[in-house]
Amino acid sequence: MTTMRVGIYERAWMWAAGVLIVLFLAMLGYAAVAQGLRPPSHIETIDPRAVFDDPRFANPGVTAGPDGRVIVTSLAMTFAFQPAEIRVPANRPVSFGLTSSDVQHGFQIVGTNANTMVIPGYVSEFTTVFKRAGEYLIVCNEYCGVGHHLMSSKLIVEAAP
Amino acid sequence: MSATANRDDRLATANLGVAVAAFGVAAFMAFMQALSRANLELPGRSAGMYYLSVTAHGVLMAIVFTTFFIMGLGVAFTNAGLERRLRYPRTAWAAFWIATLGTVMATWAIVTGKATVLYTFYPPLQAHPAFYIGLTLVVVGSWVWSFVILSTWTAWRNEHPGQATPLEVYGMLAAIIVWLVATIGVAAEMLFQLIPWSLGITETVDPMLARTLFWYFGHPLVYFWLLPAYVVWYMVIPRLAGGKLFSAQLGRVVFAMFIVLSTPVGFHHQYMDPAVPSGWKMLHTFLTFIILFPSFVTAFTITASLEVAGRARGARGLFDWIGKLPWGDPTVSSVLLAMILFAVGGFGGAVNASFATDSVVHNTAWIQGHFHLTVGTAVALTFMGTAYWLVPRLTGRELELGLLAKVQPYLWFLGMLLFSIANHITGLMGMPRRVFDATYQGSAIAERWQSLTAISAAGGVLLFISSTFFLLVMLGTVLAGKKTASREIQFSETLQPEPASSSIFDRLGVWAAIAVVLVLIAYAYPIYSHLSMPTFGSPGYKPY
Q: Is the pLDDT of residue A3 over 50?
A: no
DSSP one-letter string for B189-232 = IIIIIIHHHHTTSSS-B-HHHHHHHHHHHHHHHHHHHHHHHHHH
The shortest C-alpha distance from B262 to chain A (Å) reads 16
Cα distances (angstroms) measured from residue B50 to each of A38, A91, A104, A148, B113: 37, 40, 19, 11, 11
**What is the sign of the dihedral through the CA atoms of B476, B482, B487 and B492?**
negative
Alpha carbon distance B251, B227 (integer Å): 11
Whole-number pLDDT of residue B108: 98
Q: CA nearest B117: which of B31, B179, B198? A: B198
3-state secondary structure B370-437: HHHHHHHHHHHHHHHHHHHHHHHHHHCECCCCHHHHHHHHHHHHHHHHHHHHHHHHHHHCCCECCCCC
CB-CB neighbors (< 8 A) of A76 in chain B? none
Choose the closest CB to B543 out of A18, A136, A146: A146
B83: enclosing H helix or E strand: none
Chain B residues with beta carbon closer than 8 angstroms to that of A137: 430, 440, 443, 445-446
A136-143 average pLDDT score: 98
Q: What 3-state DSSP class applies to A75?
A: strand
Burial B339-360 (b: 16+ CB within 10 A, else e): bebbebbbebbebbbbbbebbb
DSSP class of residue B482 equals P
Residue type, B351: V
- For B205, residues 6+ apart whose C-beta sits below 8 A from its C-beta are B123, B124, B193, B194, B197, B537, B538, B540
Element (H, E) at B164: none
Q: Closest residue of B to A146, CA-based?
A: B544
Among B65, B207, B87, B57, which residue's Cα sits nearest to residue B138?
Answer: B65
Q: Are A127 and A96 in contact (CB under 8 A)?
A: yes
Cis, bond preceding B124 (omega within 30 deg of 0) = yes
Q: Are B135 and B64 in contact (CB under 8 A)?
A: no
Query: Which residue of the set B37, B268, B372, B393 is catalytic?
Result: B372
Q: Are A65 and A116 in contact (CB under 8 A)?
A: no
Q: Which residue of B has its CA nearest to A97?
A: B274
**For residue A1, pLDDT beyond 60:** no
The number of beta carbons lying within 10 Å of the beta carbon of residue B24 is 18
pLDDT score at A6 = 52
**pLDDT score of A4 more than 60:** no
| CB < 8 Å to B539, chain A | 49
The pLDDT mean for chain A works out to 92
What are the helix and strand counts (H, E) for chain B?
Answer: 21, 0
Contact B309, B321 (CB under 8 A): yes
* Listed residue (B104, B109, B97, B105) closest to B71, CA to CA: B97
Asked if residue B219 lies in contact with residue B262, where contact means CB atoms within 8 angstroms, the answer is yes
Cβ contact (<8 Å) for A14 and B300? Answer: yes
Which of B207, B359, B434 is nearest residue A143 as measured by Cβ atoms?
B434
Report the residue count for chain B.
Answer: 544
Assess whether B433 carries a catalytic annotation.
yes
Q: Residue A5: which pLDDT band, with cuts at 50, 70 and 90?
A: very low
Q: Do A32 and B293 touch (CB under 8 A)?
A: no
Contact A117 B273 (CB under 8 A): yes
Which residue in the list B65, B132, B223, B470 is annotated as catalytic?
B223
Residue tagged active-site, from B85, B434, B487, B530: B434
Residues in chain B with CB shorter than 8 Å from the CB of A105 are none
Binary contact (B432, A25; C-beta < 8 A): no
- Which chain A residues are closer than 8 Å to B432 by Cβ? 106, 108, 139-141
Residue A79: its chain B contacts at CB < 8 A? 543
What pLDDT score was predicted for residue B249? 86
Nearest residue to B186 via CA among B353, B67, B21: B67
Can you state the angle between helices B89-111 and B9-37, rounded to 10 degrees? Answer: 20
Per-residue model confidence as pLDDT tens for chain B (544 residues): 577 888 999 999 999 999 999 999 999 999 988 888 777 777 778 999 999 999 999 999 999 999 999 999 999 999 999 999 999 999 999 999 999 999 999 999 999 999 999 999 999 999 999 999 999 999 999 999 999 999 999 999 999 999 999 999 999 999 999 999 999 999 999 999 999 999 999 999 999 999 999 999 999 999 999 999 999 999 999 999 999 999 888 899 999 999 999 999 999 999 999 999 999 999 999 999 999 999 999 999 999 999 999 999 999 999 999 999 999 999 999 999 999 999 999 989 999 999 999 999 999 999 999 999 999 999 999 999 999 999 999 999 999 999 999 999 999 999 999 999 999 999 999 999 999 999 999 999 999 998 899 999 999 999 999 999 999 999 999 999 999 988 999 999 998 777 778 888 999 999 999 999 999 999 999 999 999 999 999 999 999 9
Class (C level, CATH) for B18-496+510-531: mainly alpha
Most A-contacting residue of B51, B538, B541 (CB-CB within 10 A), to test interface: B538
pLDDT at B455: 94
| B88 three-class SS | coil
Instruction: Check B37, B269, B362, B370 and give the catalytic one.
Output: B370
Q: A21–B362: do the CB atoms touch at under 8 Å? A: no
- Alpha helices by DSSP H, B440-532: 444-447, 450-480, 508-531
Query: Active site residue: B7, B57, B87, B219, which one?
Result: B219
Contact A103 B247 (CB under 8 A): no
Measured in angstroms, the CA of B513 and the nearest CA of chain A are apart by: 24
B223 included as an active-site residue = yes
Q: According to the model, what pLDDT value does residue A13 have?
A: 87
Using a CB-CB distance cutoff of 8 angstroms, which residues of chain A are in contact with residue B48?
Answer: 146
* pLDDT confidence of residue A160: 73
Least confident span in A28-32, A113-117, B269-273, B357-361: A28-32
Q: Do A121 and B206 touch (CB under 8 A)?
A: yes
Nearest chain A CA: its distance from B38 CA (Å) = 14
Asked whether this complex has an ipTM greater than 0.85, the answer is yes
DSSP state of A106: E
Nearest Cα to Cα of residue A142 among B194, B374, B207: B207
Chain B: give the shortest CA distance to residue A157, in Å.
Answer: 15
Are A147 and B47 inside 8 Å of each other by CB?
A: yes
What does each C-alpha distance from B395 to B5, B9, B10, B475, B497 come to in angstroms?
Answer: 13, 7, 8, 12, 33
B136 in Cβ contact with B190 (< 8 Å): yes
